[in-house]
Structure 1
Amino acid sequence: MLYRKTALRAAAPVAVLALALTACGGGDDKKSDDNAKSDAASSQAKPKEAPALAAGESTTGKVKEGDGTVTYDVAAEKVDLATEAETKKLVSDPKRAEGLVAATAHLKYTHKGGAPLTDTPDAPDTTEIYADGARGGLLIGAAEDAAGCEDKLDLEGWKKGESHVLCETYLVPAGAKSLEVHWAEKDGADPAVWKLPAK
């Protein structure tokens, strides 16, 4: 396990520069810059509408963690927006970030039930950020270095009663009017949705 953590940490500086667009058809390095940008901003079919939560309000979900299931209380606290200039420093090809800004969602997870984790948590992996109704493009590895965010590689052994703030960073259009943070128990499940102001 120590080897795995060390290897992942060694890869982190490169991951910060890797832009992975999770929009439909995104993430292909052979695409033109214009196509990459449009993928991040294009409209897509949104998940089933759920009652919106406000910043700090929580939902409860059960997540498969290793060989067991952990019950988490999850609350999206805020989304920090970078400037366009700051965002260009986070990607390997600044042209791909033209007109986009990095949005970092801060979610507080509280272990409410189940066995202590034996590996890094999977709970934050289903976090997504939408801007003006369109899903952004995932920026891999940037969230761990953001202020107020913890590195999930440090959380092996997380047990009942402990809370940690884990983050995800997405690229969204600069000037977006509204932001939503989505989190689900697992891929394909209806997400909890927090509607947050774009700041």
Structure 2
Amino acid sequence: MLYRKTALRVAAPVAVLALALTACGGGDDKKSDDKKADAPKSQNKPAEPTALKAGETTTGKVKEGDATVTYDVAAQKVDVGTEAETKKLVSDPKDAKGLVVATAHMKITHKGGAPLKDTPDVAETTEIYADGTRGGLLIGAAEDAPGCEDELDLEGWKTGESHVLCETYLVPAGSKSLEVHWAEKEDGKPVIWKLAGA
């Protein structure tokens, strides 16, 4: 996960917007996204029928380096762009045909545990589903989205502090329903927020 974060700082903006397209086709060779890209189709469906509403909070424990931190996590919203905007974010506009960028805004509060010694991993398990299928991860876009904070600036995050971290995916244009999934760890059972499509 740290490789993915630091890699974003040493390349040109468009070049780092690599696509980890799953339902949309294509792939990505970044280690942190291998499990997402290789998930069987049976895992690309919502894991449970009940869901939270936008802004509702769940609490989870996340392994951050050698410590465990308790967080309150709430999906606030998903901002959905246009196809024209999306084409400008990728190195090859053909990769974005029929797709739009969707950015999940997660308000996360450090509730217990030691201050972070490194950048946080808590938002790394955030995924966006559109009409029941997981979108394709767009690496490097969320840090520049309005209202989103850069994880690389959050070393030393202490109890009581809240930050808005984001993850950006490509989803089919015109999707009727959006879901934000978040889990305490990569293979954990996700908490789901249901949101309206765009």
Structures share fold, TM-score greater than 0.5: yes
Identity of aligned residues (%): 80
Residues 55, 76 of structure 1: 8 Å contact kept: yes
Report the 3-state secondary structure (helix = DSSP H, G, I; strand = E; otherwise coil) of the residue aligned with 1:87.
helix
- Contact 1:15–1:142 (CA<8 Å) still a contact in 2? no
Partners of 2:82 and 2:25 lie apart in 1 by 26
Q: How many pairs were matched up? A: 184
RMSD: 2.3
Match of 1:154 in 2: 153
- Which residue pairs with 1:20 in the alignment? 20
Contact 1:60-1:71 at 8 Å conserved across structures: yes
Aligned to 1:88: 87
Cα distance in 2 for partners of 1:149, 1:183 equals: 17
1:22-37 to 2 correspondences below 5 Å: 22-23=22-23, 26-27=26-27
Structure 1 CA distance for aligned equivalents of residues 135 and 72 of structure 2: 25
> Given that residues 8 and 16 in structure 2 are in contact (C-alpha distance below 8 angstroms), is that contact kept between their aligned partners in structure 1?
no
Aligned to 1:135: 134
Q: Distance in 1 between matches of 2:133 and 2:25?
A: 14
1:33-182 equivalent positions in 2, closer than 5 A: 44-45=42-43, 46-49=45-48, 51-182=50-181
Asked if the contact 1:15–1:140 (Cα under 8 Å) also holds between the matched residues in 2, the reply is no
The amino acid that maps onto 2:9 is R
Shift of 1:149: 0.2
Q: Which residue of 1 aligns with 2:188?
A: 189
In 2, Cα distance between the equivalents of 1:75 and 1:50?
18
Whichever of the two has the greater Rg, that structure is: 1
Deviation track 1:109-150 (CA, whole Å, cap 9, x = no partner) reads: 000000000000000110000000000000000000000000
Q: Which amino acid aligns with 1:18?
A: A
What residue is the counterpart of 1:10 in the other structure? 10
Cα distance in 2 between the residues matched to 1:12 and 1:189: 33
Contact 2:15–2:91 (CA<8 Å) still a contact in 1? no
TM-score normalised per structure 2: 0.86
Once residues 130 and 60 of structure 1 are traced to their aligned partners in structure 2, the CA distance between those partners, rounded to angstroms, is 21
What is the identity, as a one-letter code, of the residue corresponding to 2:112? Answer: G
Gaps of 5+ in 1: 30-38
User: Using a 3 Å threshold, how does the CA distance of structure 1 residues 86 and 24 change in structure 2: closer, same or farther?
Assistant: closer
Q: Secondary structure at the match of 1:96?
A: helix
Superposed displacement of residue 44, structure 1 = 4.8
For the 8 Å contact 1:16–1:90, the answer to whether it is kept is no
Residues 96 and 57 (structure 1 numbering): CA distance in 2 closer, same or farther, change over 3 Å? same
Aligned CA distance change for structure 1 residues 132 and 60 (closer, same or farther; 3 Å): same
Distance between the aligned counterparts of 1:91 and 1:81, measured in 2? 16
- Shift, 1:16, TM fit: 4.3
